[in-house]
Every structure is written in structure tokens, then in C-alpha cells.
Amino acid sequence: MNPESTPGDRPDVIIVGGGIGGLSSAFALARRGLRVRVLERAKEFGEVGAGLQIAPNCTRILAEYGLLEEAKTLGVVPEHMVMRDALDARELTRLDLRDLERRYGFPYMVIHRSDLHGIFLRACERAGVELLTDRTVVDYAHTDGAAVIRLEDGSTQQAPLIVAADGLHSVARRKLVGDDVVSSNYVAYRAAVPIEQVQDNGIAEKDVAVYVGPRCHFVQYALRGGEMFNQVAVFESPKALAGGEDWGTPDELDAAFEATCDTVRTGIPLMWRDRWWQMLDRDPVETWVHGRVALLGDAAHPPLQYMAQGAIMAIEDGWVLAEHYARLAAAAEGAGPDWDGVLAAYEAVRVEHCRRVLTTARAWGELWHLDGEARLRRNAIMRARDTYDYSFTDWVYGPTALTPDEEPSMFAPIPLSSAVVEDRSGTPTGAR
């Protein structure tokens, strides 16, 4: 490929993809003084979806960026996260989110995906990021000390660093790694409706409620200052298990939640039925950097949604990349950025952290969807947890690590076999 641009109009960084990961990374780098260009394939910037949960490891970064107060005006800071059994609605465990904020120094928030995207879009505009739409990148190549992209129209662009933030089906991931997406055989339905439509449905307006059931779960929380209500229904698709191509259809949605409690069943008819999201991820990979092309966000580490860390990890990626650029630029004393050093430091810390989140998300999904005696053992373990036990969140909700030695230790899993449950006669049964 032969780049057409001249050195005078080349940016320092080109970011491919204008979603939350791409825009947040563009802002992180621009605020460090870099000339950043974002290429978005759609005809306009925007996000599709409904609610997002933003844990303290992300609101900490929003605060540093000066964006947290704007996010608070658009989102909701809930009081508790409560997990219940989807069949009988009994409470299993909870997080006191106000105490959580005291522990980590920053709040747990929920916000509409488009609102968070809009916050970063406006921040990029203020920071002077070059924002280009209707640009589809189809290929990548390397040159000495730079990288080149080719667009669908045949033109090329070059920069010292190209960041591929183009999502689960990333062109760069396909070219540079070549792996396939992994289907969980689960599908997600979403809906965001005026809260007046659901206030008589037994909802908890000030909490994040998660109902976990056999091969399904249901999530509810308020959005936009309490004016809207977000719901997510996730279930295992029998059609997917049978190898069908058209799976996760509305008839399967209704069947999956037939046996659930009243609050869940009442919420199911409100789900959007003209669209659904098959729950896909990829196996973790250890190499995100290929020459001067770096994978970021879902292009590098698309997770299943159970940890609610997908968008957060992308925002963290950009923050880490920008922090290492700033550190090495200061050390260079005007000699020019050491992009190879920046990318090595980025990859050294983010790969392992995101691998942990991806694998934990898969395990968490399995735990949520247990049936039979395994479900009862899970419930017993969760009920035994103290509300103020943070051993399962410290590794992810604390400050984002910049170096591998800053990465906290993982939690110690509790085996299901250790649970004590009651049999049908009411007699406790211990580990087997």
C-alpha cells in the first residue's frame, strides 16, 4: 500500500472505530497533546443499545478526565446491587453501593450507552480530535516506524500509531490474529422504557436488580435520572444448541422465562422484539500489538457481559495507553515519543488483566445459570456472603494498574461442593 497523505497532515494517532472505546481513547491521547484522528465506518457517530453499568474503576477515570459530573447528571447512582433467585425471587446477596463508593473512592453508576458515548464525543470535539465518518478500513500494513491503513474507497492513511478499536468483528483482529468468535449459545434482549410503564411491576427503582435462574437471568435498573427503566433478559437458546442459524428468537424468549417469578415474567413482554444480541466473545490472546498497530477494547478482548466490564475495559485501555505515552514522552525530553516502548508497556499490563476478566465472565455466567442441586448450593454460598465482603471485587474495582506489579491478586473461588443445603425433608446436607 502506498500512503497518499503528506507528512504535514498526518496525525500522530489514527483510531479505527468511533464507539466508546475509540472515542475515550482518542480523548485520552488528545489531552496529552497528540494529534488524533478517528475513523468511523457509519455515516454518523452513535451507539446502539440501552444501559451500561460503570464500576468505580471506570468512574475514577471519568473523574480524572473531568467528565464524572456530566455523567452523573445523565445517569443514576443506585443504592444497592441485589442478586435474587429468578424462580422464587429470594434475595441471595447484595452490595451496598454507597459503602462501595466509600471503599473505592468513586461511585458505581448506571448510564445509557448513548449518553456515555455522547459524553466522550463532546469531549473529543472540545479536545480537537479529528472526527471522520463514513470511512471503512479494510486492510492494514506496516512501514518503518509507522503503520498504514487502506480504506474501502482505495485511499490510504498513515500514522506512527494506529489503534484498532473496531469491536468484536474487528478487521484488524481478523487480519492480525485470525481467530473466530466463540458463541456461548446465550442471547440478550434489551429494553429501555419510561419508568411509569413499570412502577406497578414490583421493581426496585433505586437498585440494580439481578435475577439469576436456570439457563437464564434478568437485570433491571433505572436510567436518566430515574426517568427510564432498563431491562436485560438473557437466556440459553435451544435452537443454538441444536445448531440452528436463526436462534434466540422471541418465541424462545417467552419460553425461557415461563417458570420465573412474577417481577421477571411481568417484565418480559416489554422487551424489544425486533432485535436481539447473540452473546459472543473470543478466547484471550497474548499479543495485541503488531508493529505499530494496537488492538483495543472489544477488538482485543471482547467479553461476555456478566462482569459488566466490557466498555470499562476499553476505557481503561485508552487511559493506560495515554499514561504510558505521557510517561515516556516526559522521559524523552522532546526527542519524540517512544511508541514501541509505549506499546510494550500497554501490552504488558492490559493483556493479563483483561484475560482475567474474560475468563471470570465465562465462569460467572455458568454460575448464574445453574439448575438442580448445583443451583441450591450456589444459593447457599451467596446467602452466606457478608454484604461488606469485598474480596470478590477488590481485584477489579480498585485503581487501574499501569504495570504488572500493580495488578491485584485474584479472589479465591469458593467450590460449590463446600456448600451446605437442605434436602426436601429440611435436613442439612454437607459437602460430598
Round to whole Å and give the CA distance between 179 and 403: 27
Annotated active-site residue 104? The verdict is: no
Strand partners, 290: 293
Query: 71, exposed or middle or buried, with CB in 10 Å at 0-12, 13-18, 19+?
Result: buried
Q: Are 218 and 260 in contact (CB under 8 A)?
A: yes
Q: What's the Cα-to-Cα distance from 240 to each of 243, 305, 392, rounded to whole Å?
A: 5, 18, 32
The grid cell for 325 is 505515552
**13, 224, 47, 225: which is closest to 121 by C-alpha?**
47
Per 3-state DSSP, the chain is made up of helix, strand and coil in percentages (nearest 5) of: 40, 25, 35
What are the residues whose beta carbons fall under 8 Å from the beta carbon of 381, sequence distance 6 or more? Answer: 414, 416, 418, 419
Between helix 339-368 and helix 310-332 the angle, nearest 10°, is 160
158, β-bridge pairs: 148
Are 70 and 117 in contact, with CB atoms under 8 Å apart? no
Q: Which of 108, 189, 211, 221 is catalytic?
A: 221
Distance from chain centroid for Cα 179 = 20
72 to each of 31, 106, 225, how far by Cα in Å? Answer: 22, 12, 8
For 185, the 3-state DSSP assignment is strand
Is 129:422 a contact under the CB 8 Å cutoff?
A: no
For residues 116 and 385, give the distance between their C-alpha atoms in angstroms, rounded to a whole number.
33
Distance of alpha carbon 130 from alpha carbon 268, whole angstroms: 42
3 state SS of 109: strand
The position carrying cell 480504506 is 151
Task: Cite the DSSP H helix spans in 185-246.
Answer: 238-241
Using CA atoms, how far residue 53 sits from 57, 71, 254, in Å, is 11, 12, 25
Q: How far apart are CA 296 and CA 164, in angstroms?
A: 6
Indicate which residues carry an active-site annotation.
221
